[in-house]
Structure 1
Amino acid sequence: MHQCSCLCGAVTFTVEGALPPASACHCTKCRKHIGHYEAGVDVPRSAVSVAGAEKVTWYFSSENVRRGFCSICGSSLFFDIVGHDRIGINMGAFDTPTNTKLALHIFVADKGDYYDIADGLPQYLQVPGRG
């Protein structure tokens, strides 16, 4: 069981089960929402239990993608592709050890010019398997 929360504690949630490898997204929308690149894991919706869900504000950054953040402190928590059975959890929300590691980088052509990706992990122009 993984404990998660926003900065102010108004939204807390748990994620059950082992976490898959994490990914880093360098697309412009993630960078604008997070303030840097986004690192997260996708987990089954059924594995997530949220307390304070009424404090989560959802912003549709595209027709099928919404991003969840705390309406009090602004912490970025969720990346949700509407209609999928999985939900993305931003790694910064985890309060407890995750026992996972970053496995790949996506949308690297959109990365900021102020940093390099030098960890030796695979880099993709899009999401592998989606185009």
Structure 2
Amino acid sequence: MSKTGGCLCGAVTFELAEDPKTYGACHCQMCRKFSGGIEMSVQVMPGGITWQGEDNVQTFASSEWAERGFCKTCGSSLLWRLTAPGPMQGMLILSAGALDSLDGMVFDNEVYIDHKPASHAFAGDDRTQMTEAEVLALYGPTE
């Protein structure tokens, strides 16, 4: 069964082409401001999501190389999308909270770990942890 989800008011819904096996956390300042805390998310490659009510998704260019999307009716945080040219262009980081269920998924990564507030900690440390420099080297603009 495919993973489904949507915004708080139901104006935007989606279905993922493949069931994600993992989800992660981002500690960067923009994600904290966008989500109101630690941004828990799922990576979705281009073409991996089907939207209903996509005209209700408002986007905001949050940097020169990415945008964020939210429901323009209820304000629910929905996504971060890589807009910079390159092999990963169009990749989505979908807000895990927008999924109907995280059942069967494993929390396996944290990014911008060097921006994590000292008071935030998750149980165990058996997940990939990347600093800002490591994330930018992998996904950032190449120009």
Same-fold status (TM-score > 0.5)? yes
**1:19 Cα offset (Å):** 0.7
Is residue 116 of structure 1 aligned with residue 121 of structure 2?
yes
Identical pairs, percent: 31
Give the 3-state SS of the residue equivalent to 2:129 in structure 1: coil
Shift of residue 97 of structure 1?
4.2
Task: Tell me which residue corresponds to 2:97.
Answer: 92
Deviation readout 1:60-93 (Å, 9 max, x if unpaired): 1101110010011111111100141421111001
Structure 2: runs of 5 or more not aligned: none
CA contact (8 A) 1:104 1:122 kept: yes
Offset at residue 46 of structure 1 (A): 1.3
- Aligned to 2:106, which of 101, 123, 126? 101
Structure 1 stretch displaced more, 116-125 or 45-54: 116-125
**Structure 2 equivalent of residue 11 of structure 1:** 12
Alignment RMSD (CA, Å): 2.0
Unaligned runs of 5+ in 1: none
Per the normalisation by structure 2, the TM-score is 0.81
Relative to the length of structure 1, the TM-score reads 0.88
Structure 1 residue matching 2:32: 3-state secondary structure: helix
CA contact (8 A) 1:81 1:87 kept: yes
Q: Tell me the alpha carbon deviations over residues 98-124 of structure 1, each in whole angstroms, 9 at most, x when there is no partner.
A: 522111111112123442344313322
The answer to whether the Cα contact below 8 Å between 1:20 and 1:42 also exists between their aligned partners in 2 is no
